[in-house]
Amino acid sequence: MDSTVSSRLYEHALRIIPGGVNSPVRACRSVGRDPLFIRRAKGSKIYDADGREYLDFVASWGPMVLGHADDRVVAAIKDAAVNGTSFGAPTELEVKMAQTIVDAVPSVEMVRMVNSGTEATMSAIRLARGYTGRDLVVKFDGCYHGHADGLLVKAGSGLATFGIPGSPGVPDDVCKNTLSLPYNDTAAFEACMRQAGARIAAVIVEPIAGNMGVVPPADGFLETLRRHTRETGALLIFDEVITGFRVGWGGAQERFGIRPDLTCLGKIIGGGLPVGAFGGRQEIMRRMAPEGDIYQAGTLSGNPLAMAAGLATLDVLMGADVYETLDRKSTLFWNGMKECVKEAGIPAVVNAVGSMGALFFTSDPVTDFVGAMRSDRERFARYYSLMLDRGVYLAPSAYEASFISMAHCESDLERAWDAFRDSLRRLS
């Protein structure tokens, strides 16, 4: 493909931005391509700086559940911007957003807005430690909870893509307070809680892992986390930055019927603008300053443009049968992919929950990080290029999710299947 403008932009960016990108996976190094620079997007389509159209399944890594530049969301942003872009003071919009989240998410009685998923998880961990008076945090291999120091231990997302076990610059004294266990391994978790339960402040988990591809929770796994945290006094934190308002109105916790103590949100609640939030029971959240003694702050928290975009998005998602329609469309698409894999006779697995899914080039079921890492990265890189050359835009990593939006229509799905079928044929 001739990417003259993208190539020129990338060459310039490499001189003034580390790696030429502002988030590592965007560099596309694991798939052997230079990144495409994007100029605009609308609905299910995205357009690069050279004017080419692609069918988009990245959805800005999850937020664009309605599709790109939805007219209702754009109008809400414009209306808010006319009144000012930031005040550093409370607004009615953030109160409306807080009430919407409290009404929607089963476990949340109070919520605080922040500016990113990383801020949300970092703040929730601090709150859990302050509330319990304990230091240890349990996470799970391949789950990514942002780039705060203590949460980079055996993380997914970009760390999995680049094969980095952690990061220089993270002190050993920080890492020693993070225990990372195999995802979906109830026996390992129970052993950990028997040994260290009284010292554990929090257990944080993606209820549906979305940063090592997509890995659903095994039967009983989340229930086991809930039971043992309750018994030991540790707090259970659901990282629903991806799954919140993606797999259902009340998120994964509503889908699976599990109520954590704290919930982290992001992506969709900002309608595509920078956002994050964390919330939970009142008795825990009231420990936050200025009401309590646990400090957290943010100049742009509750930004009026992000609140307006998020509320406009949630208003659409609140409509009757929206999630049923999205799930029906998504199930059709993932099942179509599975049929294409079967026809091609290639060792591959499709994992999906609702409108998020992933393809792994392995013959074995993928139920944890070890299984995800068995996926053939070389084959994925070839597959990525084949799909891109056919006008289908995917995440440039074997360990990221793909997303269906309300904007994807039947002809979009058929176009993607055709590209998928042809790409698999060329891989075999």
For the annotated catalytic residues, the residue numbers are 144, 239, 267
CA distance 313 to 350: 28
Please report, as a single letter, which amino acid is at residue 51.
Answer: G
Mapped onto helix, strand or coil, the DSSP state of residue 131 is helix
Token pair for residue 380? 């994925």
Q: Is the bond preceding 207 in cis, omega lying within 30 degrees of 0?
A: no
CA dist 57 and 33 (Å) reads 18
Distance CA(156)–CA(206), nearest Å, equals 11
Q: How many CB atoms lie within 10 A of CB 400?
A: 25
**Beta strands in 141-252, from DSSP E residues, in sequence order:** 178-181, 200-205, 235-239
Helices (H), 345-409: 369-373, 377-389
Measure the CA–CA gap between 55 and 419, rounded to whole angstroms: 11
Query: Parallel, antiparallel, or unpaired for β 262-266 and 276-280?
Result: antiparallel
* Strands 53-56 and 392-393, bridge-based pairing: parallel
Q: Which residues contact 18 (CB under 8 A, 6 or more apart)?
A: none
Q: Which residues contact 75 (CB under 8 A, 6 or more apart)?
A: 312
